[in-house]
Chain A
Amino acid sequence: MTRKLSLNAFLHDTGHHEASWRHPESPVGRAHDISFYVEQARTAEAAKFDGVFFADVPGFWASTPYRPAAHLEPITRLSAIAAQTTHIGLIATASTTFYEPYNLARLFSSLDILSGGRAGWNIVTTQSDLVARNFSLKAIPSAEERYTRAQEFIDVVTKLWDSWEDDAITADRESGVYFDVDKVHQINHVGSHYQVEGALAAPRSPQGRPVYVQAGSSNEGRAFAARNAEAIFTAHQTIGDAQAFYADIKGRAVGLGRQPDDIKILPGISAFLGDSESEAKELEHYVNSLTVPAYGLAQLQNLTGTSLQHLDLDEKVPAEIFGDAGNVLDNSRSRLQVVANIVDREQPTLRQLLHRLAGGRGHNVVAGSPTQVADIIVDWFENGAADGFNVMPPLYPQLLDAFTEKVVPILQDRGVFRTEYEGTTLREHYGLDRPESIYRAGAAAVATA
């Protein structure tokens, strides 16, 4: 079987560029209207994308009012989108730190059933004191504590999703027995964070379990992803960094007894597209000119933990300002390293750095013709840097439209991207197996469950 590229549309209000909403054509008034997102999902589905994705943080930063920051809860939003689409995968972020596992298991089970098997869960542990204070905590637990809890959380929800065997429902009108109680299992989980009896309230969903997605590239995040993830959203500025990450994750997965193809690695790409390179760069320059420096500075501080307020906008960012951020594997904040590498490589002024980050918060922002962007995608895909991409248009809807109308046909012509859906579930799009229930009679994992 030829290896096929995966494309995922990362939906984010009016676009991934922080100033997208100020573009004269931006439909900013529709940023909370579900019909706007249904349209984007249909555009992505018409182009045969694998999925759409919403990030999520359960908190609101009122102090930086320079872009849309209110976001509807993504599982709720994707349930509405599910009813208006037929094939596209639906991936929602949800935090293991701020949900009860039983509640989260139900929500994704419902989304998977409602959508006929198209749900994915982007597993995050949420790194924010502001969010902690919305959930009766004074501060966010350490990364180590969060990931320990996350692992138990995943074990619990996996057992819940498996708690009904696939053939438990008999719906036998004659006897009046709706399901076979011997095929519905209490999970009786007793761990250091959770005690959950089960079974889940709902039968097994079409995909068995939603697709497990992960997005942190820190040391803890990589170990967690290698063990649990089936797809990874990641941020890399250069093909070299991406190749190193790709090799590291696949190596770790193999070390844990998994196959390299069990994990799809999808770096972000935020593409300014024009008919020519100069037209694309002009658009990028224009949108950068709409940024509000106060917002960029606050974001930079969020990403790196370092304030650059004292610098003049046209001053060069001192190379040593991010200290010894170089070794990502010792660092819990992987985006800091991305920023440190940009400073090191490009020696930008503060304004240039803010513009560099305005488009994708550390993701790869490119500006070029459709052919140039397709060349980058194929290059990364064919050279051990990516199994696909998380497409992050700087401006919605126009740059998703441009990507689907102009870049996708090139990728199809080159034979790396599908021209028709071959299946109807997200697992089928990604080429992932449907997992057996661990409770199925004879299943190997029952003993350890």
Chain B
Amino acid sequence: MSKPAEHMVLNAFLMSTGHHEASWRLPESNPYAEADVHHYVNLAGIAERGKLDSVFFADSPGLWGASNSVARRPPQTLEPTLLLSAMAVATSRIGLIATATTTYDLPYNTARRFASLDRISHGRAGWNVVTTASTEASANFDYAEPPTHAARYARAGEYLDVVLGLWDGWEDGATLGDKASGVHTDPDRVHRLDHVGEHFRVSGPLNVGRSEQGHPVIVQAGSSVPGMALAASYAEAVFTAQRTLELGQAFYGQLKEATRQAGRNPDHLKILPGIVPIIGSTEEEALANERRLNELMVLDHPLAQLAADIGVPVDRIDLDAPLPTDIRAADEIQGNRTRYELVVEFARKENLTVRELLWKLGGGRGHRTLTGTPEQVAEDLQLWFENGAADGFNIMAPVFPSGLETFVDHVVPLLQDKGLFRTEYAGTTLREHYGLPIPVGGERTRRSQARPA
């Protein structure tokens, strides 16, 4: 067993006016924040002031939700790699993680955009690799139906091999810039990939060289069986939704073991469960804050979504009763299977009414809501961090900017006092913040050349 990391990782998951779906309706929120780069630069500045490791954006190439429910909150207006490029030049330390799909893009484009962000930010980029389950996305890319779960993950594995191979094609020191000889780039230190696979044929090399951290950090967020397999082989950080300490420990142990079995050092994969902190100076105040947000939710559309998810007509669901019992089995789901299982298990375990379930989902979309004082939140994080359930956390403030400010100003100092979190950045790159090794350029190329064909 390796020595646990001294400090936890803290990532701020950013989203327009907040993770709570009704956050834009609060009088203090700017309902146009989703299109305002200054709003996001301000959030990155708050995160950097708190010495957080990174900020993160989710993404899907489609307008959320086929039904009218989409109209209940701001869309995700800005593509995250571009938004993070704009934020990169206004910050100096904070890591910048963007989600991008492997199902509806091409690996040369993805490799290049992330390598560019990594160069622009001087080694602060991360790529959250997703396979994108939604039909709203597939319909924008020539598909009548999304590819199956298995097909998406098979493509994702090859996609990652291509992207990592392209990033690896440049060795350190390939750029000479030797004015005297007239040789700018050493051709012996830039390698073609010549990948030929089931989904892609990519010659390379990439036309962007290595950054200060070698290449972007690979992040993964699906906790299904194929998702965990992909994470064990490739991921350096995992965002996950775990409802209880026991479930969190089980997931943590399982994924670290799978990583070991994949021949990797488990310390080089950081497991970061999401939490939604709803903070008040007293517990009562925190509970009142939560209720104020929940009461702003309009429940008819999430109810229709839930009904579709579980395969039960809306009129058979009573808002003030528990979920019906005769609902669809998880293995009939081709979409986001992890989330489905989570929602159903969660409702049953906590014995929630449908209204309470929808409130909880609207607040954190299946993630754990921590409602309490800064001390209570800090203690909870400490408990998970010190008991084999987390290497750090994905912080999902319900309201921006106030929720992030509160976390940074009131929870972070408590974690620092406990010696659980840094008081200054020790490095400048995302890999340094997370305690990840810097990959050596050309390593994968040499390994594949050493292997008999």
A interface list, Cβ under 8 A from B: 19, 21-22, 24, 26, 28-29, 31-32, 34-35, 38, 57-60, 62-63, 65-73, 75-77, 79-80, 82-84, 98-100, 102-103, 106-107, 109-111, 113-114, 130, 133-137, 169, 171, 173, 176-181, 184, 194-203, 290, 292
* Sample of 17 further A-B pairs with CB below 8 A, known A80-B120, A83-B41, A202-B75: A21-B184, A28-B177, A32-B175, A65-B187, A66-B182, A77-B85, A82-B86, A84-B89, A100-B105, A102-B61, A109-B77, A110-B78, A110-B83, A113-B78, A130-B203, A173-B31, A195-B142
Contact A80–B192 (Cβ < 8 Å)? no
CA distance A72 to B116 in the complex (A): 5
- Within 8 Å CB of A76, what residues of B? 81-82, 85, 113, 116-117, 120
User: What are the 6 tightest A-B residue pairs by CB atom distance, in nearest-first order?
Assistant: A197-B139, A60-B207, A171-B31, A83-B86, A133-B203, A72-B116
- Within 8 Å CB of B297, what residues of A? 176
CA distance A169 to B24 in the complex (A): 13
0/1 string, B65-104, CB within 8 A of A gives 1: 0001011111111110111011111100000000000001
With an 8 A cutoff between CB atoms, is B314 at the interface? no
Q: Tell me which of A31, A133, A178, A201 has the highest count of chain B C-beta atoms within 10 A of its own C-beta.
A: A201
Q: Tell me which of B41, B82, B87, B186 has the highest count of chain A C-beta atoms within 10 A of its own C-beta.
A: B82
A22's contact among B35, B90, B112, B179, by CB below 8 Å, is which?
A: B179
0/1 string, B262-306, CB within 8 A of A gives 1: 000000000000000000000000000000000011100000000
Contact B61–A83 (Cβ < 8 Å)? no
Distance in angstroms from A241 CB to nearest chain B CB is 32
CA distance A69 to B85 in the complex (A): 21
Contact A79–B184 (Cβ < 8 Å)? no
Contact B179–A79 (Cβ < 8 Å)? no
Contact B120–A77 (Cβ < 8 Å)? yes
Contact A110–B205 (Cβ < 8 Å)? no
Chain B, range 33-59, C-beta contacts under 8 Å to A: 35, 37, 41
- Within 8 Å CB of A57, what residues of B? 207
B79's contact among A21, A84, A107, A173, by CB below 8 Å, is which?
A: A107
Contact A178–B201 (Cβ < 8 Å)? no
- Within 8 Å CB of B206, what residues of A? 60
- Within 8 Å CB of B32, what residues of A? 169, 171
Query: Nearest CB to that of A38 among chain B residues?
Result: B89
* CB pairs A–B below 8 angstroms (20 shown): A21-B179, A35-B89, A57-B207, A60-B190, A62-B185, A73-B113, A83-B85, A83-B89, A102-B62, A107-B82, A110-B83, A113-B35, A169-B32, A173-B31, A176-B25, A184-B71, A195-B142, A196-B140, A202-B75, A203-B35
- Within 8 Å CB of A107, what residues of B? 79, 82
Contact A114–B37 (Cβ < 8 Å)? yes
CA distance A38 to B35 in the complex (A): 22
Contact A177–B71 (Cβ < 8 Å)? yes
Distance in angstroms from A351 CB to nearest chain B CB is 16
- Within 8 Å CB of A102, what residues of B? 61-62, 104, 140-141
- Within 8 Å CB of A28, what residues of B? 177, 179, 184
Interface secondary structure of A, over-half rule: loop
Given contacts A58-B109, A177-B72, A201-B63, contact A73 B208 (CB under 8 A): yes
B185's contact among A68, A100, A290, by CB below 8 Å, is which?
A: A68
Distance in angstroms from B359 CB to nearest chain A CB is 14
B interface list, Cβ under 8 A from A: 22, 24-25, 27, 31-32, 35, 37, 41, 60-64, 68, 70-79, 81-83, 85-90, 104-106, 108-109, 112-113, 115-117, 119-120, 139-142, 175, 177, 179, 182-187, 190, 192, 199-209, 296-298
Contact B140–A197 (Cβ < 8 Å)? yes
- Within 8 Å CB of B87, what residues of A? 83
- Within 8 Å CB of A180, what residues of B? 71
Distance in angstroms from A293 CB to nearest chain B CB is 10
CA distance A284 to B155 in the complex (A): 52
Given contacts A103-B104, A197-B140, contact A69 B62 (CB under 8 A): no
Query: Nearest CB to that of B74 among chain A residues?
Result: A178
- Within 8 Å CB of A114, what residues of B? 37, 78, 82-83, 86
Contact B77–A110 (Cβ < 8 Å)? yes
Contact B73–A178 (Cβ < 8 Å)? yes
Distance in angstroms from A76 CB to nearest chain B CB is 4
Q: Tell me which of B88, B116, B190, B207 has the highest count of chain A C-beta atoms within 10 A of its own C-beta.
A: B207
CA distance A435 to B380 in the complex (A): 54
- Within 8 Å CB of A203, what residues of B? 35, 75, 77
Distance in angstroms from A387 CB to nearest chain B CB is 30
A202's contact among B78, B108, B192, B200, by CB below 8 Å, is which?
A: B78
CA distance A19 to B119 in the complex (A): 24
- Within 8 Å CB of B63, what residues of A? 184, 198-201
CA distance A332 to B296 in the complex (A): 61
Contact B179–A71 (Cβ < 8 Å)? no
Distance in angstroms from A312 CB to nearest chain B CB is 20
Given contacts A66-B183, A110-B79, A113-B77, contact A178 B31 (CB under 8 A): yes
- Within 8 Å CB of A201, what residues of B? 60-64, 75-77
Contact B89–A80 (Cβ < 8 Å)? yes
Given contacts A32-B209, A110-B79, A113-B78, contact A58 B108 (CB under 8 A): yes
- Within 8 Å CB of A111, what residues of B? 82
Q: Tell me which of A58, A76, A100, A107 has the highest count of chain B C-beta atoms within 10 A of its own C-beta.
A: A76
Contact A176–B72 (Cβ < 8 Å)? yes
Distance in angstroms from B396 CB to nearest chain A CB is 20
Distance in angstroms from B94 CB to nearest chain A CB is 15
CA distance A269 to B89 in the complex (A): 31
- Within 8 Å CB of A31, what residues of B? 177
- Within 8 Å CB of A173, what residues of B? 24-25, 27, 31
- Within 8 Å CB of B104, what residues of A? 100, 102-103
- Within 8 Å CB of B83, what residues of A? 79, 110, 114
Distance in angstroms from A309 CB to nearest chain B CB is 18
- Within 8 Å CB of A136, what residues of B? 106, 199-202
